[in-house]
Amino acid sequence: MLSQVVQDALNDQINTEFYSSYNYLAMSAYCERVNFRGCANWLRAQSQEEYMHGMKLYNFLVARNGRVVLRDIKAPLADYVCLPQVFEQALDQELDVSRRIDALYELAFREKAFAALVELQWFIAEQVEEERTARDIVAKFALVKDDPSAMLDLDRELGTRIAAGPAEAPAEGPAG
């Protein structure tokens, strides 16, 4: 059984992942509205991935006989000054999630929640990829600046992303 402090922290992270999903979906809606459908596609796929991250932690907590507590999700921004600002916010969000995962890992270590440590190692590696990808996109927007044809090329590139598969289901125990 996970200690209450670890369960609380896991629930906080589940809610953070669901907020991230909701925020990316709002970013996608903004991109749709300003006719950058490739960017919208990338952000929608990212929203689905963040939802799966939340479900991965949800399933872990359920498998450890923990109590899942879902909280209100605050409304994300609906408007941005410019398209690059969307991806700058995405990078900031990923950096924040990385800090939260690191703190959660440190807590699980102090609490000797070894199964949680193993689960969180996946998230640590995932965040390295998430940060790198967001940083690369921000750098590309900085490179193209206001060049319309370069912006369209970048939008086309981001539109090729395909969403990942569904979240893992809880492990089944032995029959009988």
Q: Is the pLDDT of residue 176 over 50?
A: no
When pLDDT is averaged across residues 150-162 and rounded to a whole number, the result is 96
Distance CA 170, CA 48 (A): 19
Q: Which contacts (CB < 8 Å, 24+ apart) does range 22-25 have?
A: 22/47, 22/73, 22/76, 23/76, 23/77, 23/89, 23/93, 24/50, 24/90, 25/76
**pLDDT tens, position by position, 17-28:** 999 999 999 999
| CATH number of this structure's domain 4-70+80-158, picked from the four choices 1.10.3720.10, 3.40.640.10, 1.20.1260.10, 3.90.1150.10 | 1.20.1260.10
pLDDT more than 90, % of the chain: 90
Sequence ranges of the domains in the chain: 4-70+80-158
Provide mean pLDDT across the span 146-159. Answer: 96
Better pLDDT: 146 or 110: 110
User: Quick one: pLDDT at residue 174?
Assistant: 42
Confidence class of residue 172 from pLDDT cuts 50, 70 and 90?
Answer: very low
pLDDT digit string, tens, across residues 27-37? 999 999 999 99
* CA distances from residue 94 to 35, 81, 100 in whole angstroms, order as listed: 25, 20, 10
Confidence band for 166, pLDDT divided at 50, 70 and 90: low
